[in-house]
Amino acid sequence: MKRQRIFTPQKPFLISVLLLALVTLVVIFSTSYFGHERNNEQPPDLQDMQQPADVIPTDILSSIMDNEGLDEGEEEPPLEDTIINISEANPGITAILNYFSSRHNCTAVSIVVYDAEVRDFYTYQYGYRILSDNIPVEVDTVFCVASLSKLVTTVVAMTLVDDNKLDLDKDISEYLGYAVTNPHYPDTPLTTRMLMQHTSSLYGPYEEYFNIENLDLPDTIKELLESGKVFTDTEPGTVYLYSPFLAHSIIGLICENITGKRFDVYARDVLFDLINIDAAYIPSNLRNSENIATHYGQQHEIIYSIEDFLNINNPVRDQSNEDAPQTRISDHDRLGAHLMISAIDYSKILIMLGNGGVYNEIRILFEESVNEIHNANFYVDTQYYMEGLSTRLQTNPYRPFEGFFWHSGIAWGINAYYFHHFDEDINRGIVVITTGADYEWVSHVVTDLASVAWQVLAQH
């Protein structure tokens, strides 16, 4: 076929240069795009390259199916957890974490930074689980995570919402079997949502109703609520007032009345065992109770030893009967502040929430319930965050981790936080647990450590 000239023949040298440049560009593009190296590897046969774009060559298809991919009809296998020590992944970040851990006088630090999409866990441990014996902190060292317990208690309660057995907006009197009202607003019902969101009008500071001498408070939750002594003069549902213990104690009692089981047993059945984590509201029920960390004060004095944890909380419960709902205040105060769990196992609960209620292909919650938990619609103007159901959305642009859900746990020598961010693009988070740190700089301890550790994800 006669070819039509595109260039005039007056400048043959220029034409040759242009053609050579064009050919060079084509070769470079083809090499980079199709990934063919030039170390004696030949490009695909021209006949193969001329097949229609929607047809995969038989030999390539066979290789994919037999060796590198899934058998026809086979489902993709579930993700497996990959645990990576930050000290190995990034010694530079480890050095900075060591500096801050020492600067803040921590006796023990456990950090987990996780990527929920690929189930990568970057871990950091510092210090000693038992200081006197120089026993180091490990990945699965267990701590009492204080108020980080509240989110877990709420997750367990939300399984009853999924089963249509608990209505968050129904008067809690219907679940408790007796009338519960704020005496200042007798016509305003209290709801489970208010308990989870700290707007129930219950007194906030623990000392106001438990540690005042000669207050003569009753022993059971029923008597305490009916006495009216624990209510403020604010209308339920209108004012945020943090309840460190009582609100989630009541949530636990509601769940026990619905299920007929002790709350800690029900939590084990519907959450802990299903995602295979070592967690318990009663320390002696841990699979590995010997891995509990001693909790130290800022002078490194012992606040709780392993023996303390294994003994102090048990006598109040009838351990022999799992189907016996408890009624004493001391039976339930652990539900808001006494969960025993490691940083890595706590992160798995957060990953489950970030994945719409699913972990390891096991559905724990419906996605609607997960959305309820993260429906942060109550603005706490004194702290500049939005309160969800036992979690908070950081909205303060001048504080770290803006746009993340978070909660703190500060008690008994523990200073713990989690920060979790998830949307269509990001499903990542961090859990930080420390003990023995200086309380004067309580927020700086965690934000310093978390801000540094978070950088490990930016480099991987």
Structure tokens that stand for 402 in this block: 């803006």
Average pLDDT for residues 17-34, to the nearest whole number?
38
Q: Residue 405 pLDDT more than 70? A: yes
- The C-alpha atoms of residue 254 and residue 177 are separated, in whole angstroms, by 10
129-143, 270-284, 326-340, 359-373: least confident range: 326-340
Q: Residue 41 pLDDT more than 70? A: no
pTM of the model as a whole: 0.80
pLDDT class of 34 with cuts at 50, 70, 90: very low
pLDDT class of 246 with cuts at 50, 70, 90: confident
Q: What is the pLDDT of residues 332-382, one digit of tens each?
A: 556 778 899 999 999 999 999 999 999 999 999 999 999 999 999 888 876
CA dihedral 227, 231, 237, 240 (to 10 degrees): -150
- The C-alpha atoms of residue 176 and residue 349 are separated, in whole angstroms, by 28
Q: Residue 312 pLDDT more than 80? A: no
Contacts of 124-129 with C-beta under 8 Å, sequence gap 24+, read 124/85, 124/86, 124/87, 124/94, 124/97, 124/453, 126/97, 126/98, 126/101, 127/101, 127/436, 129/291, 129/292, 129/293, 129/294
- The C-alpha atoms of residue 192 and residue 170 are separated, in whole angstroms, by 7
419-423, 437-441, 455-459: least confident range: 437-441
pLDDT class of 119 with cuts at 50, 70, 90: confident
Three state DSSP letters for 277-300: CCCECCHHHCCCHHHECCEECCCC
- Angle (CA) 278 159 201, round 5°: 100
Structure tokens that stand for 399 in this block: 């504080």
Q: Residue 35 pLDDT more than 50? A: no
Contact 340, 292 (CB under 8 A): yes
Q: Residue 103 pLDDT more than 80? A: yes
40-54, 176-190, 336-350: least confident range: 40-54
State the average pLDDT for the chain.
79
The CATH number that domain 84-162+275-458 falls under is: 3.40.710.10
Of residues 287 and 444, which shows the higher confidence score? Answer: 287
- The C-alpha atoms of residue 294 and residue 304 are separated, in whole angstroms, by 6
Give pLDDT, residue 311: 81
Give pLDDT, residue 175: 96
> Is residue 382 helix, strand or coil?
coil
Between the two ends of the chain, the Cα-to-Cα distance in Å is 56
pLDDT class of 111 with cuts at 50, 70, 90: very high
Domain boundaries, the chain: 84-162+275-458, 173-252
% residues pLDDT > 90 (the chain): 54
Give pLDDT, residue 69: 46
